[in-house]
Amino acid sequence: MTASRSDYAAILLRNDPILDVRSPREFERGAIPNSRNIPILTDDERHDVGLTYKQDGKAAAIARGHELVESDTKADRVSAWLKYIHAANPTALTCWRGGKRSQIAQQWLAEAGCDIPRLDGGFKALRQTSLDVIAQSSKRDWLVVAGSTGVGKTRFLRNYQPSIDLEAIANHRGSAFGSMATPQPTPVTFEIATAQALLQIADFKCCLIEDESRTIGRLAVPNALYKATQNAPLVVLEAPLSERIRFTYEEYVIGAIPTQLIEAVDRIQKRLGRERHRIVRGKLVEALRQSNAELHQEWIGCLFDWYYDPMYEFQLSRKQERIVFKGNAAELREHLATAYQLPCNA
């Protein structure tokens, strides 16, 4: 019993739970966002089976796998699978290609009285579905929201559907200061989650997306999506400098780990130059020492003057022919409602 590949887009759209029986190392390299890894073979066991396959062939490798997962170990793993299945009601189980590992897991579960489909073609086939979805993004109508650092582009976009928040999917806020407390997903997991977001807006003609660079943190925006947004019309969100500084302080500094702020400033030392980096870092260290909001806003202002605003103005100068509107948040909301029939949900 297999889940049909024709259903994989629907599985991604619904964010169905999936039982993934691949090894932990495979799972760490990339996974379906709502899947649970309960491996049929540990990393060491899989390595052992792989060596046997190379040396003695397929039949010997299968026998070695059964030998490694004998009665007690098998019972423990089936018990763990059943516990998850009863709790989460997963749509299917999977391994890498939908081959022996998921077939054997499916058989063991059936022997325990639990019938569950396996993904035809496994994780590899479902990932291919996600890549196909991303490839189709070039056929959509995109409207890109640009704006200098601190105008609140992401906050603005959250009030609109359809929109895609790539920074949320990438778990990174897209600048030297954008790291989050939790790590970013792997590139493969990021691709699948992006495909899920694209499927959620499939029925809408026009979709909003933030103007992103080629990378968000250490993750590359999928090529088809990036190219599509680089040719799309641009609307520019504007805000006074004082508001931008205050927003950046509230969003990036309050609650931040002090050492991470210092490390973020150090990461752009070459771009700031030695003397300006020394000034900004000194102001930051003193603001942290005093827990002083005004001092924090001073170094943020310096970063805007010396780094972020010049960089933004240069980048925007190369996109002038794509700009269709500029304005503050209220003006942009009105423009989106009248020109694109995109109402604000706030």
Residues serving a catalytic function are: 95
Instruction: Map tokens 């806020």 to a residue.
Output: 173
Are the C-beta atoms of residues 221 and 165 closer than 8 Å to each other?
no
| SS3 call for 119 | strand
The span from the CA of 236 to the CA of 211, in Å, is 10
| SS3 call for 315 | helix
Are the C-beta atoms of residues 211 and 315 closer than 8 Å to each other?
no
Token pair in block for residue 217: 């943190």
Instruction: Map tokens 């609307």 to a residue.
Output: 235
Are the C-beta atoms of residues 158 and 152 closer than 8 Å to each other?
no
Nearest to 194 by CA among 132, 247, 106, 271: 132
Write the DSSP string, 133-156: HHHGGGGSEEEEEE--TTS-HHHH
Are the C-beta atoms of residues 16 and 36 closer than 8 Å to each other?
no
Length of the chain (residues)? 346
| SS3 call for 342 | coil
| SS3 call for 34 | coil
Token pair in block for residue 266: 């150090």
Phi and psi, residue 69, nearest 5°: -105, 70
The span from the CA of 77 to the CA of 188, in Å, is 26
Buried residues in 86-120 as b, exposed as e (16+ CB within 10 A): eeeebbbbbbbebeebbebbbebbeeeeeebbbbb
